[in-house]
Amino acid sequence: MSFEEKLVKALEALGAKDEASVRALFVEVRDALESEKRTLLSTPAANDADRMERAKALRDRWLSRRNGLLAQVDEHWLKPASRELKPVVGLEFNQLRQLAKGLEVEELIKSVAVDSRSAVVGRDPNDPEGLGAGKGKGPTQAAEAIGFDPTLPGNRRPLGSIHPITRVQREIEEIFLTLGFWIESGPEIESVYYNFDALNIPESHPARDDWDTFYIDSQTVLRTHTSPVQIHAMEKYGAPLHIIIPGKCYRRDNPDATHYPMFHQIEGMAIDQDVTFADLKGTLDFFAKRFFGDQTRTSFHPSFFPFTEPSGEVAVSCPICDGQGCRTCKQSGWIEVMGCGMVHPEVLRRGGIDPDRYSGWAFGLGVERYAMMKYGIHDIQLFYQGDLRFLEQF
């Protein structure tokens, strides 16, 4: 059975029932990834366009979010893994994702350029076919004989880079993947039931006005938050459940320096027996220190959300002034970064989970806000204007 055939089967069907067998499967996948990368780097290309096309094909084969091989590992190995195997599968999957970053087109083209440059520098100009007729001449003499310096960068078409929002989203995902969470996704066009009613926001609730959004019809909307995926995940997997949910959201906001009709959100949810608010505080404090720095302090304040009870707002010590007070934090020393709370029992019931047996916590944060803080950006609209002068900084 090829490794690709194994990727569409669950671990149980493959007989992987312990850590050793799971690690052996991931070793096979990593070896296949390295082999395909080496094949690409060692195979001559007709021209730059051909090389680019083959690099993109390899990247899409492994990293495509819908049909990529890593997406299949996530869908068939990680998500259905048993509670006992989930930690080792998550760790191995995270290492595989790190290795697969070398398949980004920009990284592949750089590798090809380095290999080609090394080959040219080491070739004897009196032996262009590499048959050994000009042995004894070093790289310097070879370069002089050729008449140009082959170590200088070539004239290549400029490549794009990863968008700052995507960079920050992936950084946040990596932090929670190391904690054993996995990534869940859902539709951006959502029913009113999942977007509002199942989250304890009935039509008569005043909080519903805060999430007024774009309606496709009377029962279908562009989702206002990624929270509907919480209900989908509870219905699909039951408990225990540890997920993060990144994705686009839409609200009827007038564009200004801090608002835009579309934005990116990441929510997290943990459901298990004996889960408390202390678990939530510890997890978010760890996340804040990993993202903003070890010196970061966190502060929790009571708040209200219809889908959590009790609810809170999380603030971090200002990374600009270290909590001393500045213009960025409005002299308070603190910056609010997310909302959180214990999952409301009614939300658990709507997801098919017994609130008398299980409890859980959830949080939600805006990716743009974190990107603006990380890179010192003062206008959210810059992310969506496509200005190369802005994007080339990343």
**First-to-final CA distance of the chain:** 43
Could you tell me if residue 100 is inside a domain? yes
CATH number of the domain encompassing residue 331? 3.30.930.10
Four-CA torsion 53, 55, 56, 62, nearest 10 degrees: 140
d(CA 160, CA 179) in angstroms, rounded, equals: 31
Compute the mean pLDDT over every residue in the chain, rounded to the nearest whole number: 85
pLDDT at site 148: 64
The reply to whether 56 and 190 lie within a common domain is no
Alpha-helix residue ranges (DSSP H) falling in 81-196: 86-100, 105-121, 139-146, 164-177, 192-195
pLDDT at site 83: 85
The reply to whether 107 and 169 lie within a common domain is no
pLDDT at site 112: 60
Could you tell me if residue 130 is inside a domain? no
DSSP 8-state symbol, 199? G
Kindly report each contact of residues 81-90 with a partner whose C-beta sits within 8 Å and lies 24 or more positions away, as own/partner: 81/11, 82/11, 82/12, 83/240, 85/11, 85/16, 85/17, 85/18, 85/19, 85/22, 86/180, 87/180, 88/19, 88/22, 88/23, 89/11, 89/22, 90/177, 90/180, 90/181, 90/182
The reply to whether 259 and 375 lie within a common domain is yes
Query: Of 112, 142, 173, at which residue does a domain stop?
Result: 112
| Mean local confidence (pLDDT), 295-322 | 90
pLDDT at site 134: 40
Q: If we measure between CA atoms, which residue out of 312, 235, 303 comes closest to residue 271?
A: 235
Q: pTM, whole model, 2 decimals?
A: 0.62
pLDDT of 265 higher than 90: yes
3-state secondary structure of 53: helix
Find the range with the poorest average confidence among 112-121, 220-229, 232-241, 244-253.
112-121
d(CA 105, CA 156) in angstroms, rounded, equals: 13
Range of the domain at 51: 3-112
d(CA 164, CA 394) in angstroms, rounded, equals: 7
The reply to whether 92 and 189 lie within a common domain is no
pLDDT of 383 higher than 90: yes
pLDDT of 366 higher than 80: yes
pLDDT of 245 higher than 90: yes
Structurally, the chain folds into a number of domains equal to: 2
Tokens of 117: 């440059």
pLDDT at site 302: 94
Percent of the chain with pLDDT over 90: 43
Could you tell me if residue 17 is inside a domain? yes
pLDDT of 168 higher than 70: yes
The reply to whether 74 and 171 lie within a common domain is no
In the Cβ-directed half-sphere of 319, how many Cα atoms lie within 13 Å?
16
Could you tell me if residue 123 is inside a domain? no
d(CA 52, CA 56) in angstroms, rounded, equals: 6
3-state secondary structure of 225: coil
pLDDT at site 331: 84
Could you tell me if residue 146 is inside a domain? no
The reply to whether 171 and 318 lie within a common domain is yes
Amino acid at 303: S
| Mean local confidence (pLDDT), 316-336 | 83
pLDDT at site 135: 46
The reply to whether 174 and 301 lie within a common domain is yes
Q: What is the DSSP string of 253-315?
A: ---SSS--SEEEEEEEEEEETT--HHHHHHHHHHHHHHHH-TT--EEEEEEEETTEEEEEEEE
Query: Of 112, 131, 149, at which residue does a domain stop?
Result: 112
The reply to whether 79 and 182 lie within a common domain is no
Residue at token pair 């730059």: 48
pLDDT at site 139: 52
d(CA 266, CA 283) in angstroms, rounded, equals: 15
The reply to whether 84 and 217 lie within a common domain is no
Answer left, alpha or beta for residue 247, where phi above 0 means left and psi between -120 and 50 means alpha: left
Return the number of other C-beta atoms located less than 10 Å from residue 119's C-beta.
11
Do the beta carbons of residue 270 and residue 283 sit within 8 Å? yes
The reply to whether 181 and 329 lie within a common domain is yes
Could you tell me if residue 135 is inside a domain? no
Give the helix/strand (H/E) hosting 183.
strand 182-183
d(CA 363, CA 199) in angstroms, rounded, equals: 14
- Strand pairing of 262-272 and 308-317? unpaired
Could you tell me if residue 148 is inside a domain? no
pLDDT at site 5: 86
Percent of the chain with pLDDT over 70: 88
Could you tell me if residue 171 is inside a domain? yes
Which span out of 198-207, 252-261, 264-273 was modeled with the highest average pLDDT?
264-273
| Mean local confidence (pLDDT), 88-103 | 87
d(CA 30, CA 284) in angstroms, rounded, equals: 32
d(CA 268, CA 246) in angstroms, rounded, equals: 9
The reply to whether 169 and 44 lie within a common domain is no
d(CA 272, CA 348) in angstroms, rounded, equals: 11
How confident is the model over 118-137, as pLDDT tens digits?
444 444 445 444 444 444 44
The reply to whether 66 and 190 lie within a common domain is no
pLDDT at site 138: 53
| Mean local confidence (pLDDT), 315-325 | 83
